[in-house]
Structure 1
Amino acid sequence: MKIVGEGANRVIALHGWLGGSECWGRVPDLIDRSSFTFAFIDYRGYGERFDQEGDFNLSEIAADTIAAADKLGWQEFSVVGHSMGGVAMQQVWANYPDRVLSLVGIAPVPPTGVGMDTVTRQLFERACTDADARRAIVHFGTGNRQTDDWVQNTIREGVAQRSELALQKYLRAWADADLTSILSGRRDIPILALFGEFDGALKEDSQSSIWKKSYDRVKTQTIKNAGHYPMDESPLFLVEKIEFFLKKYEEM
């Protein structure tokens, strides 16, 4: 677990499927450390927890997030989640609503999971073990705008961050997620959902209605000049939007 800042606004950051706690680009360097304290954690099977056994599902991530907060002495906190972390953050709130103040999703998987056609699902399944498949996913996620070197560096940064078994099980967890039943009647949590302008799959115009159907206090917004990885593509703008929301969410 990596701690950045010493501010009163406490935030736990949940990473995406293809990277661990070290795959947040420049975000840790840009945080307003006097106002915020961020805890960047790894899931089981990733990073410093690479060898830790587990079920590798969303409820386990939620329980481990609470364990991390307890270790830090945080009774209440907000959660920021990227991609898979976007549905994991919802599971944290669903399971522990008294602990979570607000949610910020970055290219977040919605509460309904992500429906894929057969070809796309097979691509993601191959990506658990195949670097070419991972490159194809990152290229698609960034709107085929980034260079091969950029994509390769993104993949290389995360390659030592995750186990193949974890990737396989977490893929089923986020892609096939359906939190709608457990969220029924529990809609009152401030949420900011941020989507990259060039994301190949999760764009604001297609995702906004899904989020607003599930939650009453949700705001969606597009991150300009970014795809699925705004922490690498537009980090200054991303951090500005996150911090502004976390300081103002009580006004929603």
Structure 2
Amino acid sequence: MTIAAIEGNGNHKVLVLHGWALDSGVWLTARALSDVGRFTFAYVDFPGYGVARDEAPADGIDGMAQAALDDAKGLGWESFSVLGHSMGGLTALRVATLAPQQVRSVVAVTPASPAGTPLDEQTYAAFASAWSDPGPTIKGGLSPNIAAEDLSRLVARNRASMTQAVWDAYLANWTAASFFSELGSLEMPVTLFYGDSDPFITEDYLKDTVNAIPNVESLELKGSGHYPMIEAPAASVPLWERALTK
């Protein structure tokens, strides 16, 4: 199993999936604000990250989704929701398409596209080389308003929770996603959140995904870039918890 933590005793069970640049520690501030009476949260580290650091990276988005489903099976969860951030939001949608009878709802926070994110050679190289110092990429291209102290903690956690090989493998995974054609089969409630200051995952970027899902809502998170669980947790947590229970 790749579960980093289980919190709560609520009847509504939630798999929580992290993004590319950080393990499940990205949710730490939000965890303190979460409703652990109503929900039970299982925080997943994808293979190669955090508590699963000794494992080989998952093979593509399908491999990541299967790792999450294996964790749910290991917990004995037959019905659950999925909350994911960025690459994890993309994976949450894939979990739903692979196990639609098990997934109650999906909340994807600043999610990458299920159609893939084709980056030109220069941009891809810039994302790949950001491993040596991810701070400027996060501040400059993802969360321009993130506080210096929060950025410093995020970068330190990045260094402690993964290797460059994992960074490279998962960059390839999320940019090459390819299950867009399956989104129309989703019947459960799906909510997509984007930060009002995120220059990368914008309302326009999400437009095709929104149009492809039958039962979907797209909502803006005020005061946030790409990392609302770090930048605006007090405002964001109640919104995505409400979305989980649609």
* TM-score computed with the length of structure 1 as normaliser: 0.90
Per the alignment, residue 41 of structure 1 pairs with 44
CA contact (8 A) 1:114 1:175 kept: yes
Using the TM superposition, give the Cα deviation of residue 237 of structure 1 relative to its aligned residue in structure 2, in angstroms: 1.3
**Structure 2 SS opposite 1:17:** coil
Per the alignment, residue 192 of structure 2 pairs with 193
The whole-number CA distance in structure 2 between the counterparts of 1:27 and 1:148 is 18
1:99 aligns with 2:102: yes
* 1:93-172 alignment runs, 5 A limit: 93-128=96-131, 130-131=132-133, 134-172=134-172
The structure-2 alpha-carbon separation of the partners of 1:149 and 1:7, relative to structure 1 and needing over 3 Å to count, comes to closer
CA contact (8 A) 1:103 1:191 kept: yes
**Structure 2 SS opposite 1:201:** coil
Moved more, 215-224 or 47-56: 47-56
* 1:6-17 alignment runs, 5 A limit: 6-17=9-20
Using the TM superposition, give the Cα deviation of residue 152 of structure 1 relative to its aligned residue in structure 2, in angstroms: 2.3
**Structure 2 SS opposite 1:169:** helix
Give the percent of matched residue pairs that are identical in Structure 1 and Structure 2. 29
CA contact (8 A) 1:102 1:190 kept: yes
The whole-number CA distance in structure 1 between the counterparts of 2:91 and 2:68 is 10
Matched positions, count? 243
1:223 aligns with 2:221: yes
Using the TM superposition, give the Cα deviation of residue 208 of structure 1 relative to its aligned residue in structure 2, in angstroms: 4.0
Cα RMSD (Å): 1.6
Query: What per-residue deviation string (whole Å, max 9, x for no partner) do you get for residues 153-210 of structure 1?
Result: 21112221112222111111101212123x0651323111111110011122x13421
Moved more, 34-43 or 85-94: 85-94
Moved more, 25-34 or 184-193: 184-193
**Structure 2 SS opposite 1:236:** helix
Query: What per-residue deviation string (whole Å, max 9, x for no partner) do you get for residues 52-80 of structure 1?
Result: 12444211211111111112111010101
1:59 aligns with 2:62: yes
CA contact (8 A) 1:13 1:80 kept: yes
The whole-number CA distance in structure 2 between the counterparts of 1:82 and 1:105 is 6
Query: What per-residue deviation string (whole Å, max 9, x for no partner) do you get for residues 15-38 of structure 1?
Result: 000111112141111111110011
